Amino acid sequence: MAAKIKRRTFLKTTSLGVIGSAVLPYKAMAKLTPVEKPSSSLVYRTLGKTGLKVTVVSYGVMDADNPALLHRALELGINHYDTAHGYQRGRNETMVGDVVESMGMRDKVIIATKVALPRDRRTMNYTPKATKESFLEMLETSLKRLKTDYVDILYNHSVYNEKMVNYGEVLEALAAAKKTGKARFVGFSTHSNEHNVIRSAIKNGQYEVILTAHNFLKSNKDELKQAIKEAAQAGIGIVVMKPMALKFDDYLGERDEKYFESALKWVLADKNVACAIPGMTTFDHLNQNFSVMANLEVDKKDVHQLAKVKFTSTGHYCSSCQECLSTCPKGVDIPEIMRSLMYYNGYHSPRLALETYSGIPSQQSLEACSDCRNCKAICRNGNNIATAIRSAHKVFA
């Protein structure tokens, strides 16, 4: 594992643009990387009323930093790429834009990006700086990085309550982006309290696509499945992120190839889900996920595999349910700390871990834990929060 990372060092380094992939032309890299095209046909589903036909295995580009990988995914026929204004401080969008432009494939590719306005996670409210104008300014920057005049899907990034679903400044910004043709379709992403925010979106009526976290380990998976069904019936296109729940290398002791396929199939077995966007950072990940399209059926082996992982992962998986927030007397943002740790330990991405951790206001960060001798926070999923906080201190504090 990489050495301990510090917020200040990280910010200084990334502002200089030093962290990132090696500077090697991606076409050259693609030629150097021998990848067999898996024998599989592409499977498409329609993304709700948008009418967009997306490959059921689409691409969550978030922590990918190898343009050759994107190049290969486009060659294979994956047609939907998900990024965000904030990923890798803009380099992720730039990479998507570069590759798509170089391949001359803008009209064949569905590009989704996300814009996040500032919010106070303690009160769950947007701050006064969260305006329509700032949202649209960020969109302009994203379009420049993506080298395009429009995105196919524009999301409000990370919505977790009804107030956020109905926040006027964002709704106006999304409507303006559609009106000017800078976004074809609009929606939001969510990775906590998903079932409730999806239902709020159905009532709201403005949203066309929802990107939701969903997997076989989520504590609210049954409620979420039902909400997804209702959204699909209302014509909202459903895209699933975090389909594998976690990267389990650290918990299973070895990379379990079959598990990832089983988890992805579990998500796609629900026809109300249009597609999933697993993160892929290696050619192995890409081939493995792509091959799932050859056979989407969840068989007995998959069921057994998922049951095994469910047992093994107990106490190691944070579903971002937010239940622990009220059990910490200082209001520490435990779910975000857990997410940062997941990126560090599970994804082996110190960069993503610190980007996530850096977004936590200092009064809700590990600073608040420094004079707390006895952690009282409780997790309903059996995670040992005291241990996690100690571990986070070693990485981030």
338 contacts ligand SF4 (rule: CB under 6 A): yes
395 binds ligand SF4 (CB under 6 A): no
334 binds ligand SF4 (CB under 6 A): yes
Q: Compute the distance between CA of residue 152 and CA of residue 110 in angstroms, rounded to an integer.
A: 6
117 — phi, psi (to 5°)? -90, 155
Per CB under 6 A, the segment of 115-123, 135-143, 272-280, 323-331 that binds ligand SF4 is 323-331
* Shortest Å distance, C-beta 380 to ligand SF4: 5
383 binds ligand SF4 (CB under 6 A): yes
Does residue 384 touch ligand SF4 according to CB under 6 A?
A: no
Among 220, 320, 340, 356, binds ligand SF4 (CB under 6 A): 320
With H, G, I as helix, E, B as strand and everything else as coil, classify residue 240.
strand
> Candidates 88-96, 253-261, 301-309, 373-381 — which segment interacts with ligand SF4 by CB under 6 A?
373-381
Rounded least distance, CB 192 to ligand SF4, Å? 7
Angle at 306 between CA 303 and CA 310, to 5 degrees: 135
Task: Show Cβ contacts of residue 5 under 8 Å, excluding neighbours closer than 6 positions.
Answer: 350, 353, 354, 395, 396
Q: If binding is defined by CB under 6 A, does position 217 make contact with ligand SF4? A: no
CA distances from 78 to 75, 81, 299 (A): 8, 8, 24
Q: Which residues from 350-369 bind ligand SF4, rule CB under 6 A?
A: 368-369
The residue among 274 and 375 lying less far from ligand SF4, judged by its C-beta, is 375
Nearest to 269 by CA among 79, 56, 80: 56
CA 353 remoteness from chain centre: 13
What's the closest the beta carbon of residue 320 comes to ligand SF4, in angstroms? Answer: 5
319, 107 Cβ separation under 8 angstroms: no
The interface mask with ligand SF4, positions 277-316, x = CB under 6 A, is ----------------------------------------
* Interaction of residue 330 with ligand SF4, rule CB under 6 A: yes
**Nearest of 338, 268, 277, 304 to residue 61 by alpha carbon:** 277
Among positions 57, 210, 263, 328, the unique one binding ligand SF4 when judged by CB under 6 A: 328
What is the phi-psi region of residue 112: left when phi exceeds 0, alpha when psi lies from -120 to 50, beta otherwise?
beta
Distance CA 14, CA 107 (A): 32
By CB under 6 A, is residue 390 in contact with ligand SF4?
A: no
| Site residues (vs ligand SF4, CB under 6 A) | 318-324, 328, 330, 332, 334-335, 338, 368-369, 372, 375-377, 379-381, 383, 385, 389
